Amino acid sequence: MRYTFGQAKRLLAPYASAIGMLDVGAAVNTAIDELSRTRTWARMRKLVRFTIDGENFALPQDCGAIIRAAVDYVPVSVRSTEYEFLSSGPGDLDQFAETGYAPMHGIQRTGVYPTAYSPAAALPLAAFATAAPTGPLRVRGMNADGEKIVATVPVNVWTGYDDADTVDLDAISKTAWSFLEIDSVTVPDDGSAYISLFSVGDSLAALARFHPKVAIPEFTRYRMPGFSGTAGTTYRMLAEVHQKVLPLVDDDEVVPFDSLLPVQYMMTAITKMEAGEVETADKYRERAALMLVGREENELERQAPIVVNKLLEFSSGSVSDDWANI
């Protein structure tokens, strides 16, 4: 049975006060985040589709690492950040991968960044939201001279992304500093609205869209070495990704697990850990994870019988080797 965030807050309220959090929602979100990191759950993975029109691309904020991928209907390798530094690896892909060979080189993770995209040049920044936040949006980075700079980015109020093409670039509020690189972003986590960050040049260039409850945002970036770069060239990618659990905000959002008991046990584990009862906390944490293991094994149980018949080798309708039972 699935539960909404509102239901979880009502049912788990007795276990929230023990954690020392006055906000029941914060207590539930903390427990869900801890529980999601105990194992690579099947329900913590999802399939996403992208259209890639450049060498570098980023995953949405609720996506972690890519597990496997197919580009233009063909499975490709997914390489980690250390691939270029292996003694048997390709070396510097910026120099090695010739233009036009994508996706032969597969895709490569380039790391975790505070924004989905970097500014194309040293440009001022502006932010937009449907409601003004109560706190400041702070950005730290570097200007064109290599100097470290910090700025508060003004948050302009708009009705949505449809306004992007009609924004008066001379009238909007933006930073006095021009950012070439962005090192970190601090988002006001008052939950007022999603905030969109742009660089401001001849037009608005989207850099990221931030969740209203994540104070320090992170985005996983990848690249496809050897992208042709020809105007109009695109690739279609199907990817299975780790689902990054973001804090639940609205009462009608769905808890990612199909039972609240594991969440309750994880909340108790946190309580016991705060009280210094480490052994008891570990037992509750283990119990929470084991409950989800049992549910997942039941959900993913084979839907067809396995036939093993060693007496009738190669007979029709039988499988004679154990290795064939995948």
CB 272 within 8 Å of CB 280:
yes
Label residue 326 by pLDDT band (50, 70, 90).
very low
Nearest C-alpha neighbor of 292 from the set 46, 9, 63, 43: 43
pLDDT at res. 17: 63
Give the predicted TM-score (pTM) of the model.
0.78
Dihedral pair phi/psi, residue 243, rounded to 5°: -85, 120
Q: Which two tokens stand for residue 175?
A: 């930073």
What are the residues whose beta carbons fall under 8 Å from the beta carbon of 156, sequence distance 6 or more? 126, 127, 128, 129, 172, 173
Q: Which two tokens stand for residue 72?
A: 């233009």
7-31 residue pLDDT tens: 999 999 888 865 555 588 888 999 9
**Cβ-count burial 128-164 (b if 16+ within 10 Å, e if not):** bbeeebeeebebbbbeeeeeebebebbbbebeeeeee
- Other CB atoms closer than 10 Å to residue 185's CB: what's the count? 26
Please identify which residue in the block is written with the tokens 């309750």. 264
> Order of strands, edge to edge, in the sheet holding 148-153?
148-153, 137-142, 181-186
**How far is residue 160's CA from residue 94's CA, in Å, rounded to a whole number?**
37
- Other CB atoms closer than 10 Å to residue 78's CB: what's the count? 18
**How far is residue 40's CA from residue 45's CA, in Å, rounded to a whole number?**
8
Q: Choose the weakest-confidence range: 33-42, 175-184, 224-233, 275-284.
A: 224-233
81-136 residue pLDDT tens: 888 888 877 788 777 777 777 777 789 999 999 999 999 999 999 999 988 888 89
CB 164 within 8 Å of CB 177:
no
User: Is pLDDT of 140 > 50?
Assistant: yes
CB 148 within 8 Å of CB 252:
no
